[in-house]
Amino acid sequence: MSAPWSAPLAQDAVHATVEIAGSKSITNRALVLAALASGPSTLRSPLRSRDTELMAGALRALGVDVADGPNDEWLVTPTTPHGPATVDCGLAGTVMRFLPPLACLAEGTITFDGDPRARERPLDTVLHALRDLGARVRGDSLPFTIEGSGGLHGGEVTIDASASSQFVSGLLLSAARYDRGMTVRHAGSAVPSLPHITMTVEMLRAQGVDVDDSEPDSWTVSPGKIEPLDLRIEPDLSNAAPFLAAAAVTGGEVTVPNWPTRTTQAGDAMRWILQEMGARVRLDETGLTVTGPERLRGVDVDLHEIGELTPTVAAMAALAHGESRLRGIAHLRGHETDRLAALRAELTNLGTEVSEHPDGLTILPGPMRGGQWHSYADHRMATAGAILGLRVPGTRVDDIATTGKTLPDFPGLWTSMLGAQQ
């Protein structure tokens, strides 16, 4: 853990243009597909952060060649995965949930482990599904072991994915390489973060894989080859959210270049959330530009499909005028930390009145005071503390380095943004 970081106070309205690195969600899906493709792939402008480096390292451990290209690409040459190997998942949900289905295609013993908090994250859904398909799996959470036999017949499984859409995506990404493909059916309350499953399906189809999602809560992947990728990775729109929030909470203006006009990224929803809170939003050839209002207003919003934005929205709500209700986010209790409990505790510590409900939070802004903001080894909690620090003197984030999980050198980007005020 790094030393506490004094969150910079905005001396004036923030005016800046901020370049955001590639999407973590797209990068890690692309790495898995490239590892299973029928030939070499090129991933252009990938995100290089702890989560994506962990994914690349995991694939290398399985024998896949993931090499650096001359122009910041990743060049991926697939091979038949093999063990014995050890996969370090860190705290990356995409690694711990996307790699086990791929490891079933390997020959040999594959051992998975990760950070202490990762051992608490739910994994039994995907591991039980793999057992139902005939895989040999020892354990229901990290650490666990897969005895790969070089392939899997595939077939139909029914799971409860109400805790995470990653359970569905993880199974779908490798399904085309199973002998019979796979049908995944969901039985339970609504699947959260559905845009991430849409992203998975579209990326599979782009590489020639036949996916039928015409029936609600059911996805069928036909067996077949995966075409090699030549893909330029979009900016990570969820990582852009704190910088756009900086404009909103200071009455300034921030532009993020290269914002896609069409995307499956959940972070694109920041556009309408900011508008609901009173900001002006413009998308044109220069990118996405957000202009903050004189005073933000509270919002009543269902974040079930875009839960990753919750810490950012909660920080803005604490600085807004009027009560906010954030709903549909019970599943965030199983993320990097229990984000609902963490937000309630940290916002309360800084003087905001917060009520926790079974499905979300009610935030009633009040006079705020500086103090320690705990990140809980959660990158989005850390960036939420930075947002609050723009307006609350004396805010200190205990572990800003945890932002490296998805956003390299967040502190440098943040201070550069504020330097643009001058």
pLDDT of residue 166: 96
Binding-site entries? 24-25, 29, 93, 121, 164-166, 193, 308, 335, 339, 380, 405
User: pLDDT-derived band of residue 42, with 50, 70 and 90 as boundaries?
Assistant: very high
Beta bridge partners of 219: 184
Domain spans, the chain: 5-21+235-419, 24-232
Weakest mean pLDDT among 20-29, 49-58, 66-75, 412-421: 412-421
In this structure, which amino acid lies at residue 34? Answer: A
**Coil/strand/helix, residue 357:** strand
Give the CA distances from residue 105 to residues 32, 56, 101, 135, 330, in Å, rounded to whole numbers and listed in that order.
12, 17, 7, 10, 34
Among the listed residues 73, 253, 305, 308, the single catalytic one is 308
pLDDT per residue as tens digits for the range 93-145: 999 999 999 999 999 999 999 999 899 888 999 999 999 999 999 999 999 99
pLDDT band at 2 (very low <50, low <70, confident <90, very high): low
Task: Evaluate whether 5-21+235-419 and 24-232 have a shared fold.
Answer: yes
377, 406 contact by CB (below 8 A): no
Distance, CA of 419 to CA of 133 (rounded, Å) = 55
Q: Residue ranges for the binding site for 3-phosphoshikimate?
A: 24-25, 29, 164-166, 193, 308, 335
Q: Can you tell me which residue has the tokens 């702890």? A: 50
Average pLDDT over residues 225-233: 98
How many residues are recorded in the chain?
422
Task: Measure the CA–CA gap between 150 and 173, rounded to whole angstroms.
Answer: 17
Nearest to 25 by CA among 175, 193, 152: 193
Please give the mean pLDDT across all residues of the chain. 96
Answer whether residue 90 shows pLDDT above 60: yes
Whether 101 contacts 148, CB under 8 Å: no
Residue 336: predicted pLDDT: 78
Distance CA 330, CA 342 (A): 13
* Residue 40 phi, psi dihedral angles, 5° rounding: -65, 145
pLDDT band, very low/low/confident/very high, at 337 (cuts 50, 70, 90): confident
Each residue's pLDDT tens digit, 179-222: 999 999 999 999 999 999 999 999 999 999 999 999 999 999 99
Task: Give the max Cα distance, the chain.
Answer: 62
**pLDDT range class, residue 308, cuts 50, 70, 90:** very high
pLDDT of residue 268: 97
What is the rounded CA–CA span in Å between residue 407 and residue 199? 20
CATH number of 24-232: 3.65.10.10
CA distance 109 to 83: 5
Looking at CATH, the fold of the domain delimited by 5-21+235-419 is given as UDP-n-acetylglucosamine1-carboxyvinyl-transferase; Chain (3.65.10)
Confidence of residue 422 (pLDDT cuts 50, 70, 90): very low
What is the average per-residue pLDDT within 17-36? 97
The answer to whether residue 120 is catalytic is no
Could you list the residues known to form a binding site for phosphoenolpyruvate, using ranges.
24, 93, 121, 166, 339, 380, 405
Q: Determine the residue type at 97.
A: R
